[in-house]
Structures are given as C-alpha cells and as structure tokens.
C-alpha cells in the first residue's frame, strides 16, 4: 500500500471511528510524503485522544525537526526519551536532539547533551555512537574549541575504521568517515571515502554533496559544480524519502551557489542562494553569500545591503563558509 493509499484508508477509518491509531498512522503517512502541516494536525489529534503514547511524540518531534522548529522538536523528542531511554538510543533520537541544539545555535547545550549521551552509550552499544562525536565536534567548532573538535572528529574516524573491518561495503560508513576527514582537512582521505561511497551506491546524494565540498575547499569549482548538480538532481527525484538528518537540502543549493560564485557565474549563484532561502528563510549563510554575490554585480549594492541588514551586520560580517569555519568578509558597500 502506498502512502497515498494509506491516507485514504485511515481517512475512512477516522470517518467511521475517530481513534488514536487512525490519526497517528495517517499522520505518519502525511509526514512520509512531506505534508508536514497535515501530519502535525493528525499528531495533535492523536495526542488529544491518547497523551500517554510515546511514539506520537517521537513522530511529531521528527516533523518539527523537518520544519526547523527546533525548540518544539526538542520538547517532543525529550518526552520520548523520558518515556523510553533505551528505545531513544536505538532510534537515534538523542543524537537528533543534540543536532537540534546545534541548529538552534545552542552550542554549549549541545556539547553538554551529547557528552552525557556519549558517557552513557556504552550501556546500549558495543561501540561508541560515532554520530554523537561528530555532532559534538561540530558544536565545538562553533565554540572555536578546535582542539576538542579535532579530538571528536578523530574519534569518528577511529570508530568507522573498526566498523568497516567487519562490514566493508557500508555506504553510510564511508560517507560519514569522509565527513570527519573533511573536517580534519584531510582531503585526500575524504575524497577516497566519498568516491568509495559513490562506487557502492551511485545515487547516494550525501556523498556527492560532501565530495563537492572538498572540491570547493580545493578551489576545483567545476568539479564541485558537477557534484552539487548530481546531489540536487537526486534530491529532486525523491524529496521525501528517506529521512536523512545529516542533510539540510537548502545547503545543496547554497553549496552550488558557492561553486557558481567561484566560477564567476554570479547570476546563477544568486538564483541558487534565492532557492536556498526559499527552502529555509532563516538560513543566514545563504543571505550572506547572496549579499556577496550582489556586491559583485554592478548596480546590485542596494540588494546586497538589504541582505547584510537582515543579518544585522553591514560592512563587516562573519560568515560560515563551506567548511563551517568563521571567516571575516570585509565589504565596502556604498
């Protein structure tokens, strides 16, 4: 049964006998199709009918995460964790909460939360959870604690080295180890891992996006553009499945915009930054990059100033570049 057919089926059940299961399952179907507002409505109704079922909080929290309503996501997901800590580990919910803290810029809370998870994870796994080290590393980066960040990224590499000894054809493991290598600026190793991931699955969009980031850092803008084009192509072919909490698809367009910017194709860069902002109107990096592109286009200084104003900083702006580092961009905009 397709998700559309499930919606029809559960709608009939709701008409005959409104109950928790029908609303919850229809909400799940809506969420799988990316119809998040309808999903939230059904989950709200399910909670009204049965506020004690933990799984509806998990599902609604995941949808809030997709909607970038991170405080609400954290609240719901923590209800699920409180109800069933063991299941939360296996479902990856604790890691997701940590990532929500990062995306809402609560970096110190992310470090505290993920550190606690890492300390406890040996109770549930026979290895440490690499995603938690990775996201804690990202939080440390944003706190400018580079030594701690590198320790965490090295831990990710070590964990995946062990995992790949046992399962040598796991696409995600190569992709995620490659991301850790990338953060460590070990570009050759990163490229080897992303190439291997793509060799194993040539439709693995994360690996194309991540390899494109390496090429950006290396100044190989043509190759970066090819990879971002492929990542976006795969995203457009199948937007709603599967969930991948490591990816924010507005970043694909932002990254491709950076490749166009590097190639001097400013109008195309602006188009991609526009699309990125359309997907996430609060995505500051896209505003910053669009402002830079506008400032390079004759007669677009006013548009650039508007984007800088949205960020609250005109003239001197700290921007996250493709590596997520803090760089100062000095612009003289009249």
pLDDT at 131: 87
3-state SS, one letter per residue, for 44-57:
HHHHHHCCCCHHHH
Give Cα 32 to chain centroid, integer Å: 17
Q: Which residues contact 261 (CB under 8 A, 6 or more apart)?
A: 269, 289, 292, 293
Task: State the pLDDT confidence band at 297, using cuts at 50, 70 and 90.
Answer: confident
The token duo for 331 is 């612009």
pLDDT at 259 over 80: yes
DSSP output for 60-102? HHHHHHHTT-HHHHHHHHHHHHHH-HHHHHHTTHHHHHHHHHH
> Model confidence over 124-164: pLDDT tens digits?
444 457 888 999 999 999 999 999 999 999 999 999 999 99
Phi first, then psi: what are they for 59, rounded to 5°? -65, -40
Look at residue 299 in the predicted model and tell me its pLDDT.
62
With cut-offs at 50, 70 and 90, classify the pLDDT of residue 239: low
Which of 86-95, 130-139, 199-208, 298-307 is the least confident region?
A: 298-307
pLDDT at residue 268, as a whole number: 97
The number of residues in the chain equals: 334
Query: How high is the pLDDT of residue 122?
Result: 55
Residue reference for tokens 């009939």 = 12
Compute the distance between CA of residue 255 and CA of residue 167 in angstroms, rounded to an integer.
Answer: 31
How many other C-beta atoms are found inside a 10 Å radius of the C-beta of residue 5? 10
Mean pLDDT throughout 299-319? 59
- Alpha-carbon distance 136 to 253, whole Å? 25
Mean pLDDT calculated for residue range 248-261: 94
Asked if pLDDT for residue 229 goes beyond 80, the answer is yes
Q: Give the β-pairing of 316-320 and 326-330.
A: antiparallel
Burial of 257 (C-beta count, 10 Å sphere; 0-12/13-18/19+): buried
Residue 249 gets the label, from left (phi > 0), alpha (psi -120 to 50) or beta, of alpha
Q: Do 41 and 14 meet the contact criterion of CB atoms below 8 Å apart? A: no
pLDDT at 44: 98
pLDDT number for residue 244? 53
- Quick: pLDDT tens for 73-132: 999 999 998 898 877 766 678 788 998 999 899 999 999 999 988 887 654 444 457 888
Nearest alpha-carbon partner for 65 in 54, 55, 74, 52? 74
Closest C-alpha to 217, from 235, 243, 194:
194
CA atoms within 13 A on the CB side of 181: 22
Least confident of 60-69, 80-89, 203-212, 222-231: 80-89
User: pTM for the full model?
Assistant: 0.81
Q: What is the C-alpha separation between 8 and 61, in angstroms, rounded?
A: 24
Confidence band for 57, pLDDT divided at 50, 70 and 90: very high
Burial 320-334 (b: 16+ CB within 10 A, else e): bebeeeeeebebeee
């Amino acid at each position: 049964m397709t998700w559309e057919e499930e919606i029809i089926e559960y709608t009939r059940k709701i008409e005959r006998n409104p109950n928790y299961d029908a609303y919850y399952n229809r909400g799940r179907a809506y969420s799988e199709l990316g119809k998040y507002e309808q999903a939230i409505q059904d989950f709200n109704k399910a909670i009204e009918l049965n506020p004690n079922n933990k799984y509806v909080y998990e599902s609604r929290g995941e949808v809030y995460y997709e909607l970038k309503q991170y405080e609400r996501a954290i609240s719901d997901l923590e209800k699920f964790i409180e109800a069933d800590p063991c299941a939360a580990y296996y479902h990856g919910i604790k890691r997701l909460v940590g990532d929500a803290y990062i995306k809402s810029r609560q970096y110190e809370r992310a470090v505290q939360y993920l550190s606690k998870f890492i300390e406890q994870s040996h109770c549930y796994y026979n290895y440490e959870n690499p995603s938690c080290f990775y996201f804690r590393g990202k939080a440390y980066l944003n706190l400018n604690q580079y030594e701690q960040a590198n320790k965490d990224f090295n831990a990710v590499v070590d964990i995946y080295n062990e995992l790949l000894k046992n399962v040598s054809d796991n696409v995600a493991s190569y992709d995620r180890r490659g991301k850790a290598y990338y953060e460590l600026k070990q570009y050759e190793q990163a490229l080897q891992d992303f190439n291997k991931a793509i060799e194993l699955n040539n439709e693995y969009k994360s690996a194309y996006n991540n390899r494109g980031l390496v090429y950006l850092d290396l100044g190989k803008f043509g190759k970066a553009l090819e990879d971002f084009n492929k990542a976006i192509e795969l995203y457009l072919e199948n937007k709603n499945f599967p969930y991948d909490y490591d990816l924010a698809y507005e970043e694909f367009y932002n990254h491709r915009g950076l490749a166009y910017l590097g190639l001097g194709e400013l109008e195309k860069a602006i188009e991609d930054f526009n699309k990125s902002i359309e997907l996430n109107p609060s995505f500051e990096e896209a505003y910053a990059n669009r402002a830079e592109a506008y400032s390079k286009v004759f007669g677009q200084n006013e548009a650039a100033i508007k984007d800088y104003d949205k960020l609250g900083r005109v003239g001197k702006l700290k921007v996250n570049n493709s590596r997520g580092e803090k760089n100062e961009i000095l612009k003289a905009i009249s």
